[in-house]
Amino acid sequence: MNELFVQIILGISIASVPLIFAATGELLVERSGVLNLGVEGMMIVGAITGFVVQFHFDNALLSLAAAIIAGMSIAAIFAFLTQIMLTNQVATGLALTLFGLGVSAFWGRAYSKVTVDRVDAINVPGLSDLPIVGPLVFSYDPLFYLSILMVILVWYFLNRTKKGLILRAIGDNHDAAHAIGHKVVRYRFIAILFGGAMAGIGGAYLSLVQVPIWVEGMTAGRGWISLALVVFASWQPFKVIVGAIIFGGITILQLHAQGFGVNVDAQYLSMLPYLMTIFVLVTLRIRIKSNTNRVMPSCLGKIFHSTQ
Amino acid sequence: MIRLQTRTDSSTLMVFFSPLLALILTAFSTFVVFFLAGVDGFGAFYVLFIEPLTSLYSFSEMLVKAAPLIMIALGLSIGFRAGVWNIGAEGQYVIGAVAGSAVGLYFYEVEGFWLLPLMSLVAIIAGMSYAGIAAFLRTKYQVNEILVTLMLTYVAILFLSAMVHGPLRDPDGFNFPESRLFHDSATLPIIWQGTRVHIGLAVAVILAFVSYFWINKHITGLQIKISGNAPRAAKFAGFDENKTVWLSLLVSGGVAGLAGVFEATGPIGQLVPHLPSGYGFTAIIVAFLARLNPIGIIFSALLIALTYIGGESAQITYDLPNSITSIFQGMLLFYFLACDILIRYKFVFTFYQRQ
Amino acid sequence: MFKKLFINAIRLFLVASISFLAGGAIAAPTKAAFIYIGPTGDMGWTYQHDVGANYVKKHMGDDVEITTVESVEEGPDAERVMAQLANKGNEIIFTTSFGYMNPTLKAAKRFPNVKFEHATGYKRADNVSTYSARFYEGRHVIGKIAGRMTKSNVIGYIASFPIPEVIRGINASYLAAKSVNPDIQMKIVWVFSWFDPGKEADAAKAMIDQGADIIMQHTDSTAAMMMAEENGIYAFGQASDMGAFGPRAQLTAIIDDWGPYYLQRVRAVRDGTWESADTFDGVREGMVGFSPLSDQLPADVRAMALQAIGELAAGTLHPFTGPVNKQDGSPWLAAGETPPMFPDLLTMDFYVEGIDSKIPQ
């Protein structure tokens, strides 16, 4: 039973990692006041790029680097359009998703019949063999640890560095931030690229770790879930982990329940995370009335143009 | 040194020039994509964009595909003008289809001229109520409607799946997840014999003109326009922001719901799990391509419909993958949005730096 | 004499021109089209239909011109794609997913001269045939192998949608496994999708964690096979040979071999002998086949599997042979009895006795 418990936790963790990556990236983007709805598109481009590079070079680091660069490149289109050409963020984000899904499917046609070496878990000799704690703490793949590290880094950046403070200020009031001389566009541009990089790794996790194959549309809506997750986390990095575990956990647990012969209503159960997100949004707003501190970035999705 | 300067008034020249430029750029990029794919560029271009217009059948199918896009985009454009971002039209479309179809299936034994109007009415109310959730949360708790409508889209699609696997499943259908076929009085009338062009197209075009006049001539339309362009001015003028939010979401939700039941009772003829084919999201593109202009929406919906039909022809004729369509649509929107900057801003070339 | 020569000359001319005309007709290829639900790279269902299409091309060469359209949604687009294919002069169109049933009938009505072939459906017309395979015969064989090869006595089954075809497969493999291993237990997980690699992998993982050491799947991706390979357990390929994704894990694969049927139907159109029919072929006719049995199988298991395949091919074995009770204990088949195709097999909506799970509603 302990063994099963450990395995369930492991399964949930693996399902959560891509969500943590993509959502943490998007969180920083949204904190800077930009809403990028193209996460799904950036993820899938990361997934195909990572897969193709892994197939040809069989080098995990290289494939991940490629996925990051691919995610950033496609995010750069979004950044250029919304920050320089001042386009509407909702429409541009949707276009990015369409474009990413199309490009990846087009490029990936030659790779549907092959498989690659999976990026493996690091087993720490001795430690990994400890009962329960061993597998729970020491037998993940390196990207799992990286995802947690990124959450910590983003938290640290936002709350403990001057640049993080400026980024948040820009997200809350870009006109004021601009007035005191902060480079609004530069900050946002970099934040968007970071979001692209994170979505890229998240996508690559799917095609390199979770199931090392390439399939058209294999992100299967995880980019959209990441968007929900940012809201669910009320723009707080650590809550992304909690949210990812709930979102990933519901899927894994209902599969396990079925395995035990428990009849579950898969469709109704799958609605839960989305309904919970809405619920969080509402309670968040109710709480804000007493605590003006932690809010949704006020400038989220608004176009900034400095009229000099 | 190049710098952007806000125009005091939208440039009329650019209003026409910018879409043209966007089309040219998209066409050029498409050629590049074809070239990379090793396909004869001119031939593929012909198949994608010209051939569907040369046969009556393809042309009629373009109209069929455009009808729901026009309807949903019209509803959305009203909210977008007011700065109300309903991006969950897909969900309202699905809920409308499910609710309307449920009525049709409930009266499966009954024939009557009143059935289709009743189904449409129920679909409109269902779509409105569903979008109304977002309006309620935004006006009461200041919750962002983008996120709520998006979340509700997923819930709606899962709800449809639960319905066609459960209560609305065809009892004689060997447990396959789809509903019964609607009988005649629950099926949309065809307005062009021999094709699938149904009355929904006529409704869509009429709605386009209605909303054109509403936006430009009626006081509530103006209110919406001003709320979007100058929220503070709207407040001073005594326009109620909450009213605008409710109005925008109810209208877009109702129209999307109607489009949903039209699709189920028209081209499909039954409720199937694959009903949501992204029209709700594509309609956002349509609305933006038309720069939220109701009449423009008719044309942009036709253009997008053309890319779908052309994409299928390209697959049939050139064995080009399906994904060409989404690449093309993505690029089209990129260029359109980018070129719009020419309308609102002008590039100022400053050759001499002020010292 | 001159007159005779003249008549002969005319006769010769007529014969020549008729054979010329006939020759001309033969030279024009028959146009056949295939509509797929997924990408041809799914390595399962769609891939195997595409293999069938290529088989036709290989055997008919210049006599056939084949068009394939992939990833056609089952919604409103399907009927248009069929109509466009018909407009392009295709004489026979294969629609290879259940969800195309009503669109196929509508398109067939519009194009009465075009022959349609709908896979896995149950509605026919003068120009619409249906065809499917007795996949449960394949399930019988893998069930027997699984019953012998499992050490934990737990088989994991990844199911897609609770439709008769899937339920037949579950029942057939359970009965077969039980017949060689009375302690067998089957865990069934519904993923409500035909193709979602992430979810299929998660489902496989969940069942492996719960003790399953053999995975069966009625979904189309290779994800479960890869999970089995990685976790050192066994699995069976679905629809096509998935050995490349699980070289050690795959014990055998049930192969959907559509090629010969497609060839026969396209030829029938060419010869003008095509008639609407309902085909439901199995191992005997070659529509259900197996990839080479794995070397992992001990000699006696291999012999048992080959014997079962032989008996299915000879028509002496029916996977559903009484006595069999339904899950609730009520009798279904008496000793030695086999079920009729309709309604029992075609509308199957119950588990057999012994399966510890419920069909989702």
Structure-token match 């396909």, residue found = B39
Residue type present at position A274: Y
Residues of B (278-307) whose Cβ lies below 8 Å from A: 281, 284-285, 288
Sequential DSSP letters for C141-208: HHHHHHHHH-SSSEEEEEE---SHHHHHHHHHHHHHHHHH-TT-EEEEEE-S-S--HHHHHHHHHHHH
pLDDT of residue C189: 93
Mean pLDDT, range B20-42, rounded to an integer: 82
In chain A, what are the helix, strand and coil shares in percent, each to the nearest 5? 70, 0, 30
Mutate to test the interface with A, among C50, C209, C230 (most CBs of A within 10 A): C209
In this complex, do B272 and C99 lie within 8 Å of one another by their Cβ atoms?
yes
d(CA C165, CA C138): 12
pLDDT above 80: residue B225: no
Beta strands C30-35; C64-69: pairing state: parallel
Percent of chain A whose predicted confidence (pLDDT) is above 70: 89
A7 touches chain B (CB under 8 A): no
Chain A contacts of B334, Cβ < 8 Å?
77, 81, 92, 95, 99
pLDDT of residue C2: 52
pLDDT of residue C248: 95
- Interface chains of chain B (3 or more CB pairs under 8 Å): A, C
- How far A17 CA sits from the closest chain C CA (Å)? 13
Count other Cβ atoms within 10 Å, centred on residue B353: 6
pLDDT of residue C188: 94
Angle subtended at Cα B285 by Cα B280 and Cα B286, rounded to the nearest 5 degrees:
85
Max intra-chain CA distance, chain C: 96
In this complex, do B275 and C75 lie within 8 Å of one another by their Cβ atoms?
yes
Nearest residue, CB atoms, C75 vs list B55, B277, B319: B277
pLDDT single digits (tens) C312-349:
999 999 999 989 999 999 999 999 999 998 888 888 98
Does residue C130 contact residue C118 with C-beta atoms inside 8 Å?
yes
With H, G, I as helix, E, B as strand and everything else as coil, classify residue C152: coil
| pLDDT tier, A3 (very low <50, low <70, confident <90, very high otherwise) | confident
Structure tokens that stand for C174 in this block: 């359970």
Mean pLDDT, range B223-233, rounded to an integer: 73
Mean pLDDT, range A261-275, rounded to an integer: 80
d(CA B9, CA B229): 13
Mean pLDDT, range C83-87, rounded to an integer: 92
pLDDT above 70: residue B117: yes
pLDDT above 70: residue B294: yes
Interface of A with C (CB under 8 A): 3-4, 7-8, 11, 15, 105, 109, 112-113, 115, 118, 206, 210-213, 215-216, 218, 220, 251-252, 255-256, 258-261, 263-267
Q: Tell me the range of A246-260, B46-60, B315-329, C297-311 where mean pLDDT is highest.
A: C297-311
Does residue C206 contact residue A252 with C-beta atoms inside 8 Å?
yes
With H, G, I as helix, E, B as strand and everything else as coil, classify residue C255: strand
Mean pLDDT, range A135-158, rounded to an integer: 85
Chain B contacts of A90, Cβ < 8 Å?
85, 87, 146, 284
d(CA C48, CA C287): 11
Nearest to C139 by CA among C260, C238, C229: C238
The average confidence (pLDDT) of chain B is 86
In this complex, do A99 and B326 lie within 8 Å of one another by their Cβ atoms?
yes
DSSP assigned state of A118? P
Mean pLDDT, range B306-318, rounded to an integer: 86
With H, G, I as helix, E, B as strand and everything else as coil, classify residue A267: helix
Q: Which residues of A40-50 are buried (b: 16+ CB within 10 A; e: fewer)?
A: bbbbbbbbbbb
pLDDT above 60: residue B156: yes
C195 touches chain B (CB under 8 A): no
Residues of C (84-103) whose Cβ lies below 8 Å from B: 84-85, 87-88, 98-99, 102
pLDDT of residue C136: 96
pLDDT above 50: residue B354: no
Instruction: Go through the domains of chain A in sequence order and give each one's CATH number.
Output: 2-288 (1.10.3470)
Nearest to C206 by CA among C221, C223, C220: C223
d(CA C69, CA C66): 10
Mean pLDDT, range B8-29, rounded to an integer: 79
Q: Looking at chain C, which residues constitute the CATH 3.40.50.2300 domain(s)?
A: 23-133, 135-256+288-345
Chain C residue with minimum CA distance to A118:
C230
Chain A contacts of C73, Cβ < 8 Å?
none
- How far B325 CA sits from the closest chain A CA (Å)? 7
Structure tokens that stand for A154 in this block: 């983003």
Chain C contacts of B319, Cβ < 8 Å?
68
Count other Cβ atoms within 10 Å, centred on residue C134: 23
Nearest to B152 by CA among B170, B129, B171, B125: B129
Chain C residue with minimum CA distance to B62:
C80
Least confident of A277-286, C154-163, C290-299: A277-286
Least confident of B102-106, B143-147, C289-293: B143-147
Q: How many CA atoms lie within 13 A of C30 on its CB side?
A: 25
**ipTM, interface predicted TM-score of the complex:** 0.84
Structure-token match 């040219």, residue found = B24
Sequential DSSP letters for C265-293: HHHHHHHT-----EEEE-TTTTSEEEPPP
In this complex, do A261 and C198 lie within 8 Å of one another by their Cβ atoms?
no
Least confident of A186-190, A303-307, C83-87, C123-127: A303-307
pLDDT of residue B165: 87
pLDDT of residue B73: 97
pLDDT of residue B313: 85
pLDDT of residue C9: 57
| pLDDT tier, B39 (very low <50, low <70, confident <90, very high otherwise) | confident
- How far B111 CA sits from the closest chain A CA (Å)? 33
Chain C contacts of B175, Cβ < 8 Å?
162-164, 347, 349
Chain B contacts of A99, Cβ < 8 Å?
326-327, 330-331, 334
What DSSP element (H or E) covers A222?
Answer: helix A222-232
With H, G, I as helix, E, B as strand and everything else as coil, classify residue B11: coil
Which residues are CB-contacts of C57 (< 8 A; sequence separation ≥ 6)? C64, C66
C65 touches chain B (CB under 8 A): no
Number of H helices, E strands in chain B: 15, 2
pLDDT of residue A269: 79
The average confidence (pLDDT) of chain C is 90
B328 touches chain A (CB under 8 A): yes
Chain B contacts of A97, Cβ < 8 Å?
330
Decide: residue A98, CB within 10 A, 0-12 exposed, 13-18 middle, 19+ buried: buried
B318 touches chain A (CB under 8 A): no
Chain B contacts of A88, Cβ < 8 Å?
288, 337
Residue type present at position C322: G
- Provide the Cα torsion C93, C94, C100, C105; round to 10°: 50
- How far A264 CA sits from the closest chain C CA (Å)? 7
Chain A contacts of C197, Cβ < 8 Å?
211, 213, 215, 218
Tell me how far apart the terminal alpha carbons of chain C are, to the nearest angstrom. Answer: 87
Mean pLDDT, range C4-14, rounded to an integer: 56
Q: Which residue has the higher pLDDT, A193 or C245?
A: A193
pLDDT of residue C195: 82
Beta bridge partners of C130: C118, C278
| pLDDT tier, C76 (very low <50, low <70, confident <90, very high otherwise) | confident
| pLDDT tier, A210 (very low <50, low <70, confident <90, very high otherwise) | confident
pLDDT of residue A293: 46
pLDDT of residue B339: 86
- How far C307 CA sits from the closest chain B CA (Å)? 33
The average confidence (pLDDT) of chain A is 86
Residues of A (146-165) whose Cβ lies below 8 Å from B: none
Q: Tell me the range of B219-223, B320-324, C226-230 where mean pLDDT is highest.
A: C226-230
DSSP assigned state of C76? T
pLDDT single digits (tens) C120-135:
988 999 999 999 999 9
pLDDT of residue A292: 44
Nearest residue, CB atoms, A95 vs list B165, B324, B330: B330
Q: Which residue has the higher pLDDT, C41 or A208?
A: A208
Q: Which residue has the higher pLDDT, C259 or B83?
A: C259
- How far B158 CA sits from the closest chain A CA (Å)? 5
What CATH architecture applies to the domain C135-256+288-345? 3-Layer(aba) Sandwich (3.40)
Which residues are CB-contacts of A159 (< 8 A; sequence separation ≥ 6)? none
d(CA B189, CA B179): 20
pLDDT single digits (tens) A148-193:
999 999 999 999 999 999 999 999 889 999 999 899 999 999 999 9
pLDDT of residue A51: 95
pLDDT single digits (tens) C145-177:
999 999 999 999 999 988 889 999 999 999 999
Give the homologous superfamily in CATH for domain C23-133: Response regulator (3.40.50.2300)
Structure tokens that stand for A176 in this block: 């004021």
Q: Which residue has the higher pLDDT, B286 or B277?
A: B286
pLDDT of residue A308: 41
Give the C-alpha distances (Å, rounded to integers) separating B255 from B62, B97, B292.
20, 11, 16
In this complex, do B267 and C79 lie within 8 Å of one another by their Cβ atoms?
yes
Structure tokens that stand for A172 in this block: 């809350």
Give the C-alpha distances (Å, rounded to integers) separating C182 from B92, B292, C17, C154, C177.
52, 68, 72, 12, 8
- How far A133 CA sits from the closest chain B CA (Å)? 36
Structure tokens that stand for C84 in this block: 């466009």
